[in-house]
Structure 1
């Protein structure tokens, strides 16, 4: 049994013991309290003059809309990665642990997407989704991405969310339903990240410099699209804020960029280790704020 199958077998065993069911673990009919949607320090406006001008009620409402927007971006990307994994496993022997784990991961992602959708419906009464350009680029990416490009992009999205959600699930200021959703997602995504790292290493074995350079740039651009889609102008408008001012101050928010950099530190180390942190990719990551 090669390395990927060994990892897949361990993850299958872990999933059998530790998988969670949001439909039975969360009371979706329970009334919401007055908690934040995410840790206030993770708000895109925290640390700005605009945040200081907001009332406590406005801050809570803003974080609920931000949480719903991030969750909606998560649904969008999880739908992309399910297609990537299905295509990658199309011709793999169904008896292989790798194949069986891939379908287990897809099942997890389906449950996560439903969970996020239900949470969004409880938090806000509007629909969020990435902009049209991001959706079309995502459509192109899931059509052509393969091998290490697909798995490294999956890892990028999951690693970025992981640190954020670990903070939110432990923060008692955050609404309990949101904390439970984040906890379920963190526990199950930890298995997905192990597999994505293993697959990325395996697919890159023997890859040349040109292939690594092209893939590194594509992955960094995918990361930029994901990050830029998490919280958009509509969030501020729907909370009743001055959207122009909010976008301007959020884009210049060094506190938020510092949090992004800290959340992506381990990811950047891994990408550097496997040769996917090229000069061109570094420029994109710095522009995005994660380096």
Structure 2
């Protein structure tokens, strides 16, 4: 698997950032009315879509659930973007800031700050809580964000960025979805394309020099982190917000083959890429299957 020169790639990404970057506080019309007949996200991405429970819900409940699930996904995105920003800062800490590579990493960090603000503002505008992963997961992930580096850091980043990218490409094109969600998705997709390019090339470079022991370790940690990221996308309390019994809804979601296949398809390109890099395999595949990633 070939990559371009690190500094050349970074120079091109910096030029792209100069041409197309967005300030969501300006680009998104936060004062626009919220139509009460539009979904918070593409309903086919909802964890209950296609279940008997979904069929029994009123349209108002479906709209409410998608608004809350969209906010929950954004909350998970904010959580991981904070982890990503810390990993990037650690990665470039001792590098020459005059190089395009470091300057693009700093540009990406600035992008992620704006994206996190944008996700938080969209939930706030819909009057939805700021959903976060469970406290024990937040605390456990402190070790990952403090130690993950190299191919593990960039490979883990790809699972989040590319799954959100696939989702949001559907959201931004779907006229059934709230205008704010569509605009937020469009901005994120356009700017994340640069981040994905950067992360993919760095993953290839770092994975090429792993020893057998380090590769096995990174496969394991990548599987664990992927499991928790994917299973944290939907907070249980979104079901209560839609007037559903939480235990019944969780059971329906766990058995929802449509949702599992949708997640698997969303992760397919990432899994194929990381497998080529030698970062998929071993015991971690069990957790990836449990999360319906493979």
TM-score by length of 2: 0.96
1:46 pairs, out of 45, 49, 53, with: 49
> Does structure 1 retain, via aligned residues, the 8 Å contact 2:7–2:99?
yes
Matches within 5 A, 1:75-224: 75-224=78-227
> Does structure 2 retain, via aligned residues, the 8 Å contact 1:38–1:174?
yes
**1:128 Cα deviation after fit:** 0.9
**Structure 1: distance between partners of 2:43 and 2:195:** 27
Are residues 1:256 and 2:259 paired? yes
Q: Partner of 2:283: helix, strand, or coil? A: helix
> Does structure 1 retain, via aligned residues, the 8 Å contact 2:62–2:242?
no
Return 5+ residue gaps in structure 1 as ranges: none
> Does structure 2 retain, via aligned residues, the 8 Å contact 1:64–1:124?
no
**Structure 1: distance between partners of 2:20 and 2:165:** 18
**Structure 2: distance between partners of 1:277 and 1:245:** 34
**1:21 Cα deviation after fit:** 1.6
**Structure 1: distance between partners of 2:119 and 2:246:** 25
**1:17 Cα deviation after fit:** 0.5
**1:209 Cα deviation after fit:** 2.0
User: Which runs of 4 or more aligned residues in structure 1 lie more than 6 Å from their structure 2 counterparts after TM superposition?
Assistant: none
Are residues 1:31 and 2:29 paired? no
**Structure 1: distance between partners of 2:197 and 2:275:** 17
**Structure 1: distance between partners of 2:242 and 2:89:** 38
TM-score by length of 1: 0.97
> Does structure 1 retain, via aligned residues, the 8 Å contact 2:219–2:282?
no
1:22 paired residue number:
24
Cα deviation, 1:171-215, whole Å, max 9, x if unaligned, reads 000001100000100110111011001111111222222211110
**1:61 Cα deviation after fit:** 0.4
1:265 pairs, out of 244, 263, 268, with: 268
Cα deviation, 1:108-159, whole Å, max 9, x if unaligned, reads 0000001001001012342311101210122111011111111111111101
**Structure 1: distance between partners of 2:165 and 2:258:** 18
| Number of residues of Structure 1 aligned to a counterpart in Structure 2 | 290
1:68 pairs, out of 68, 71, 76, with: 71
**1:260 Cα deviation after fit:** 0.7
**Structure 2: distance between partners of 1:275 and 1:95:** 32
> Does structure 2 retain, via aligned residues, the 8 Å contact 1:37–1:63?
yes
Cα deviation, 1:197-234, whole Å, max 9, x if unaligned, reads 11111112222222111101111111111111111211
**1:84 Cα deviation after fit:** 0.6
